[in-house]
Amino acid sequence: MSSAVTTPGKSVGKSNYTIPVGPLHVALEEPMYFRIDVSGETVNAVEINAGHVHRGIEYLATKRSLNQNIVLTERICSLCSNSHPEAFAMAAETIAGLTVPERGQYLRVIAGEVKRLASNLFNVAILTHLVGYESMFMHIMQVRETAQDIKEGVFGNRMDLGAMCIGGVRYDLDEETIGILTAGLDKIEPEVAEIVKTFKTNGSILRRTKEIGVLAKEDAIACGVVGPVARGSGVDYDVRREAPYHVYDRMPLEVRTFDDGDVWSRAMIRLHEAQNAIAIIRSCLKELPGGAVNLGTKLDIPPGHAVAKAEAPRGELIYYLKTNDTEQPERLKWRVPTFMNWDALGLMLRNAKVADIAIIVNSIDPCISCTER
């Protein structure tokens, strides 16, 4: 558009098109519709049309009791399923002034970090698939499968752990399950170190991810992004450190940031957090105290309101709970980490190549059922 000879409304050499991506698309696991205006190979503007998997869960939550909502909130999202009942329970505990027994707090951290490990591996696996490095995709999925085995062996489920309850957790570790957990981590740890090495050196990955889908730090702050997307753009914020909960203040938590804000930085943050999750789980197992894992089932949650935050695999998850004299919450509202990422995605896709659209969309680790509820 800078050239003086360009006639308005007429393109010179290039063609302007509007291409639809989604709602159902090979690169998307869930439905979202992008209307992308391109000029030749370059993206000009993106319009996002949401609402394909809106299920009215917030409405439904007000018709169910607080305990039933533990089950309901776990089903909002599959990959951060554990973080939803976790933050919800934390809000209820704040209202009632309950303190979760120490052992329960450690077990909450373990459940959360196992989910983070599996979720982050899943996202980088999809990235290698989109890059076209299929053997690497198969390999990372196989490593992640070990994390799935841990979940199945320890919690009994591959996705929804069913670990949380108001006042603590619903599972306990014994010698056998600790054995499954440590054996799994021993297997995954060297593999993740190898994956990190590959991400640092492999030309196919570097060429498709370095300086692609850049989100500048000022834009990251303006959009209010959280989690690996924020940390990949140099925003040094992690709920586990800024607003510690459970026993995270005693954990060997490492919050890493990158300044480049590209797809590669976000992937490296996720890989590092997968490694850090292993260190945190090991530390929990080493320090795990005895005692009760929850406060029992007869808990009274008085009328009140509270806001609770937790660091889900995708970043800050925040819950608002208002209770009254009834068993049902008067209002239960949550905002998921992906919610702000859609706005940031518009900035990441600006001037991107059409071939990179799927890679950039995947780099926000999108969760659409989470966003729309």
Number of residues that bind other proteins (CB under 8 A): 41
Q: Binding other proteins by CB under 8 A: which of 59, 132, 186, 259?
A: 59
Chain position carrying tokens 């409405």: 59
Q: For other proteins, which is the closer residue by CB, 184 or 261? A: 261
CA gap 342, 336 in Å, rounded: 11
Q: Is 165 annotated as a binding residue?
A: no
Subset of 282-341 contacting other proteins (CB under 8 A):
305-307, 309, 316, 318, 320, 322, 324, 330-331, 333-335, 339-340
CA gap 358, 349 in Å, rounded: 10
| Side-chain-facing half-sphere of 255: CA atoms under 13 Å | 20
Four-point Cα dihedral 283, 310, 48, 215, nearest 10 = -60
CA gap 283, 276 in Å, rounded: 11
Decide: is 222 part of the binding site for other proteins (CB under 8 A).
Answer: yes
| Side-chain-facing half-sphere of 65: CA atoms under 13 Å | 8
Q: C-beta of 332: minimal distance to other proteins in Å?
A: 9
CA gap 286, 102 in Å, rounded: 14
CA gap 136, 133 in Å, rounded: 6
Q: Is 80 annotated as a binding residue?
A: yes
**Residue 236: what residue type?**
D
Q: Is 223 annotated as a binding residue?
A: no
Q: For other proteins, which is the closer residue by CB, 187 or 322? A: 322
Decide: is 55 part of the binding site for other proteins (CB under 8 A).
Answer: yes
Q: Is 284 annotated as a binding residue?
A: no
Q: Is 218 annotated as a binding residue?
A: no
Return residues touching other proteins (CB under 8 A).
50-51, 54-56, 58-60, 63, 94, 99, 221-224, 239, 241-245, 249, 305-307, 309, 316, 318, 320, 322, 324, 330-331, 333-335, 339-340, 342-343, 372
**Which residues does the annotation place in the binding site?**
58, 77, 80, 367, 370
